[in-house]
Chains A and B, each alone.
Chain A
């Protein structure tokens, strides 16, 4: 019996199970202690969850860029976080100009749409240029080569933004009409968070329809399925790839504006952490899987928002919020180790190897 067990699973598997079990115990213990002490009221928990949903929907939008590109090229576009930065950082200057001229006070929806358009166009251009200059020539190179290129591009873009726009932290102007709260079905929600959640749901539904129903979306899915066959069917693969990068970039640009509404502050290096988190979200949902990325983003957002107060506080760790990012990274590591195919399963897992 024991022998058969050991023949089936090697030592590393067992070590991994032990690690997993230990982590589960720690998490449950921490959560139980926090809840037992009753430090936070149920209202506070609800606010945590709503904030988690809001930031999670931003992650989801960025994650879609990773997933779309991975689905087609099987590469991690490491510089996607910087695509996101490009849009929101550039749009900052437009936002300031609009605020100074008083335009955004009168027509806040229109000015938001203008910002959105600017961010989308800039992020899209960055993504397309990136593909054209850095990735296209390497499409048939050994696998590590495009990844290293992507890392290089990521740092290049970060420091380009710093060089162009300066290294300081810049703060988006407030929108008067969006301060305060709205009440939906008896739940009080910060207006910015509500707008963020609604906007990202609209965008995600739009993307889903685009991928599933339009001809371009169909071409995209065909290329993801099999590049050669798609090319034989008369699909311009290069063009589909450019489309994919543009689409991912556009979503990242939109995510940037939503991020700016939530967190206000922008700087040249802001895209790195959300980028990694969004990648985590994409992997959580099964990379290459569009609905998966959406769910993964929301899930990660909530875990990150609840984690410090729910688990770490219960474990008696001092200033748990400092470890907020560590939770996201830990999730990343755990998912990649224990379930690299993600929650919903990787749509294209059999082709990955």
Chain B
């Protein structure tokens, strides 16, 4: 619809304005300065500068692409125009910011910000001119991308992305492999003190371009080769790769060391929760915003039953308390599920949110302090162990989490196409029709709540044993929102999607401390953008893929029918 309308000069102005405002926005919320500390290419370009470049670049690309359809070569002109407008907006902001003290209102409008935006130029007028010229240049660069053929465009985008990613990961690589012998020469080749070296960046760039080009033209070769093989050898290759994957998963902590293992366990705990919420939201279509409550119940059950500190009761071992935690969470899922059975959609979301908040407030209050510790939480929760092997640090807890994920993923995977899984999907699509088809709504919905809650309980129990102490502040609404975001980004209802979502949304911010401050800001934006642009997620489930692209398929079908007739 929108794509059809011709791209006018007014649209170009509007795009330019948007790009400029975006740059001002990321400046004022502090992202530019915070990200400016991180050099991507040593002494040349920082992440902060890259995010400043991004809006005019991408909008220049989109502007040119939309203009191209109708007006031929006008695309680049449009890009130039919108880039100049964007630059002018930023220039205005720079002049304003350097002459008036905006800092009394906007805490991030510090001189440091304007140093970044002016690229160190002293006079505001020169900086403004540079901003306008730079905006135009970047947008035209974005526009040029529309002229390239798609394989080249893909290769270039991939190459730039991987340079930026590897640049970002420098610190992590240093922490992980710093003590290894082989790492030193590699490090010296690719990296300088801060950021990639020029040679490193160029090598990464060229290699990625080559890989991408190879994949475009010869990427189907391995698959073709495999399809030529006999079924037996195909099967053995599949099994072989599974076994290999399993072995790699088992060796990961030994290879990577404590810090990455720590991140992986955190990601893993979110994967377990995500798989659980995926059943409730993804399979059964019940939007549950109080999901953190079951995580809390699991963690608190584990804490109370096993702690040897002040609040000690049973002093059970981890393995004895684990089923209790899961069972209690499961029962809580049913108990909280019963009252909300008749609710749909948004009311359900709000009620579950209410439940979650009530539980958090009650746990935090003095009322139950004697038994669950109030704001001080529960301390001295012993680590899990089997025989003499203690799940002590992140490298050991990793296996515990891996075991949890394997268990939960297996259950979720087997349930998906089982009778119950299909019943859930029927309920998701249309409750009334599902009921008419003989699906028992009460049982089906309660099973979804119970299964989801049990997974969260397991996750919470592992979480408690991992940290050794738990506090009510770890169980606020943000956790529910995080889990919801990760399944939406990954693709609602899709199991690989949960894993991908957890790695993107939980792993990335853990890696980059400067991202951590802007985590929720980006999650929020991501939720909105995903819903607007790609509601089925990055690794979509088949039915959702169809559901969200119904119109396109219909159009395709229509045009096909028209062609054949």
Contact = CB atoms under 8 A, between A and B. Distances in A.
Interface of A: 10, 12, 15-16, 19, 75-76, 93, 133-134, 137-138, 141-149, 151-160, 162-166, 276, 279, 317-319, 322-323, 325-326, 329-330, 332-333, 336-337, 340, 353
B484 A322 contact: no
Contacts of B108: 163-164
A193 B29 CA distance: 35
A164 B361 contact: no
Contact of A333 (B338, B351, B535): B351
B524 A152 contact: yes
B495 interface: no
A99 to B, nearest CB: 13
A155 B366 contact: no
Greatest chain A CB density within 10 A among B105, B340, B358, B528 is at B528
B365 interface: yes
Interface in B104-156: 104-108
A146 B527 CA distance: 10
Contact of B339 (A153, A322, A333): A333
A164 B347 contact: no
Interface stretch (B58-66, B186-194, B515-523, B553-561): B515-523
Given A143-B345, A165-B105, A322 B526 contact: no
A28 B260 CA distance: 55
B531 interface: yes
A10 B134 CA distance: 69
B29 A164 contact: yes
B353 interface: yes
B51 to A, nearest CB: 14
Contacts of B530: 152
Contacts of B365: 318-319, 322-323, 326
Given A145-B535, A146-B531, A156-B527, 14 more contacts: A12-B338, A76-B350, A144-B285, A144-B345, A152-B524, A152-B527, A276-B357, A318-B367, A322-B365, A322-B366, A323-B365, A326-B358, A336-B347, A353-B344
B367 A148 contact: no
A329 B521 contact: no
Interface in B17-67: 25, 28-31
Pick the 7 closest A-B CB pairs, nearest first: A152-B527, A163-B29, A156-B524, A155-B524, A159-B521, A322-B365, A326-B361
A149 B340 contact: no
A148 B346 contact: no
Contact of B361 (A142, A154, A165, A322): A322
Contact of A319 (B104, B287, B367): B367
Nearest to B336: A333
A138 B532 contact: yes
B407 interface: no
B28 A164 contact: yes
A127 to B, nearest CB: 15
Nearest to A273: B357
Given A159-B520, A165-B105, A165-B106, A148 B351 contact: no
A276 B354 CA distance: 9
Interface in B458-509: 481, 484-485, 488
B296 to A, nearest CB: 15
B364 interface: yes
Nearest to B352: A333
Contacts of B351: 332-333, 336-337
B180 to A, nearest CB: 38
Contact of A340 (B347, B518, B531): B347
B479 to A, nearest CB: 13
B531 A152 contact: yes
28 contacts: A12-B341, A15-B338, A16-B339, A19-B339, A141-B535, A144-B287, A148-B484, A151-B481, A151-B527, A153-B524, A153-B527, A156-B521, A158-B520, A158-B524, A160-B521, A164-B29, A279-B350, A319-B365, A319-B366, A322-B364, A322-B365, A322-B366, A323-B367, A325-B361, A332-B351, A332-B354, A336-B354, A340-B347
B535 to A, nearest CB: 6
Contacts of B353: 276
Interface string B348-388: 01110111011001101111010000000000000000000
Contacts of B525: 152, 156
Contact of A147 (B345, B369, B524, B547): B345
A332 B353 CA distance: 10
A271 to B, nearest CB: 14
B442 interface: yes
B532 A134 contact: yes
A337 B340 contact: yes
Interface in B423-461: 442
Interface residues of B, number: 57
A166 to B, nearest CB: 4
A325 B357 contact: yes
A159 B518 contact: yes
A171 to B, nearest CB: 16
Nearest to B281: A144
A336 B346 CA distance: 11
Contacts of B547: 142
Contacts of B31: 163
Contact of A160 (B29, B350, B367, B442): B29
Given A144-B287, A337-B340, A165 B531 contact: no
Contact of B358 (A142, A145, A151, A333): A333
Contacts of A156: 521, 524-525, 527-528
A143 B526 contact: no
Contacts of B369: 318
B5 to A, nearest CB: 14
B107 A166 contact: yes
B361 A137 contact: no
Given A137-B532, A164-B29, A151 B484 contact: yes
A148 B521 CA distance: 15
B349 A147 contact: yes
Given A15-B338, A159-B520, A333 B531 contact: no
Contacts of A142: 547
B448 to A, nearest CB: 15
A20 B367 CA distance: 22
Contact of A330 (B338, B346, B358, B531): B358
Contact of B107 (A152, A165, A279, A323): A165
Nearest to B34: A163
B343 interface: yes
A151 B481 CA distance: 8
Contact of A143 (B342, B346, B355): B346
Nearest to B287: A144
Contacts of A148: 287, 484, 488, 527, 531
Interface string B321-342: 0000000000000000011111
B442 A12 contact: yes
A166 B30 CA distance: 10
A259 B527 CA distance: 30
Given A75-B346, A317-B367, A149 B527 contact: yes
B346 to A, nearest CB: 5
Nearest to B356: A329
Contacts of A15: 338
A326 B357 contact: yes
Contacts of B287: 144, 147-148
A330 B518 CA distance: 32
Contacts of B518: 159, 163
A159 B339 contact: no
Greatest chain B CB density within 10 A among A137, A157, A317, A322 is at A322
B359 to A, nearest CB: 9
Nearest to A326: B361
Given A12-B341, A15-B338, A165-B105, A147 B346 contact: yes
B347 to A, nearest CB: 6
B26 to A, nearest CB: 9
